[in-house]
Amino acid sequence: MAEGAGTPEPIARLIEAFHRLPGIGPKSAQRLAYHILRVPPQEAEALASAIRDVKERIRFCSICLNITDTDPCAYCTDSRRDPSAICVVEQALDITAVERAGGFRGRYHVLHGVLNPIDGVGPEDLHIKELVTRLADGEVKEVIMATNSSLEGEATAMYIHRLVGPLGVKVTRLARGLPSGADLEYTDDLTLSRAFEGRQEI
């Protein structure tokens, strides 16, 4: 996104950086950049520090691949959670939606994407192998597929079902109360809670 010739280079760079963020259009990027220019230096530094902190301290949990600042993450080390049920989600943000709904007390596994051959995303690009490894000791009795109800989400659920089924682990899918094509993170708490209650075996 090219700025006008009179725009100072640091401002143009900041606008371009904001514009690269998801959901931020050119006008929003400009507004954010000029807002940063107006705030006191300590506020701008606090923002820069928070961004640096996230990049330096946040990592993936070695068990479930959730984002965390401690390894293993809080969900994997919580003895009150049921280790026999794993909820498989596309992104770490989906865990927040599931937890907010309050209907699930098991463990999680984050794929970090879905199968999408058109975009060149295959099984080796997702954390499916790590999921299968977690099932080897026989402790897990149910894998709940909570991928979004898009074509890619459905294809991913079916692919994992074909891998996991022969291991003797029950594979279920969230109930169809979820709107077709809707993302998990935007689903209201009641709908998501009922989807867990009404999950069906694949």
For residue 160, the model assigns a pLDDT of: 96
Domains of the chain: 9-57 (1.10.8.420), 67-201 (3.40.1360.10)
For residue 6, the model assigns a pLDDT of: 76
The residues near 81 (Cβ < 8 Å, ≥ 6 apart) are 75, 105, 106, 107
For residue 140, the model assigns a pLDDT of: 96
3-state secondary structure the chain: CCCCCCCCHHHHHHHHHHHCCCCCCHHHHHHHHHHHHHCCHHHHHHHHHHHHHHHHHCEECCCCCCEECCCCCHHHHCCCCEEEEEEEECCHHHHHHHHHHCCCCEEEEECCCCCEHHHCECHHHCCHHHHHHHCCCCCCCEEEECCCCCHHHHHHHHHHHHHHHHHCCEEEECCCCCCCCCCHHHCCHHHHHHHHHCCEEC
Which pTM does this prediction carry? 0.75
What averages of pLDDT result for each successive group of 10 residues across the chain (202 residues)?
72 95 95 96 96 94 97 96 97 94 93 94 95 94 92 93 92 71 66 67 68
